[in-house]
Amino acid sequence: MNKIINTYSALVGKAVKAKAKLILFVLVLVLFVLGSGAPEAGGGVINSLPIFRF
């Protein structure tokens, strides 16, 4: 994780390092909970789109 943050910080400056770390942390957590759970039966983001409705 630190490697990604450091690479990103080198590109955009250290001032945004803390924010970048927080955004990546939250992104990873969101992806983790979406992958761990099975909450999308009928009412999730994907199924709520008309094209995907069954």
Q: What is the largest CA-CA distance in the chain?
A: 48
Query: Minimum distance between the CB of residue 8 and another protein, rounded to whole angstroms?
Result: 13
Give whichever of 12 and 30 is closer to another protein, judged by the CB atom. 30
Give whichever of 7 and 40 is closer to another protein, judged by the CB atom. 40
- The backbone region for 5, taken as left when phi is positive above 0, alpha when psi lies in -120 to 50, beta otherwise, is alpha
> Does residue 15 interact with another protein by CB under 8 A?
no
> Does residue 37 interact with another protein by CB under 8 A?
yes
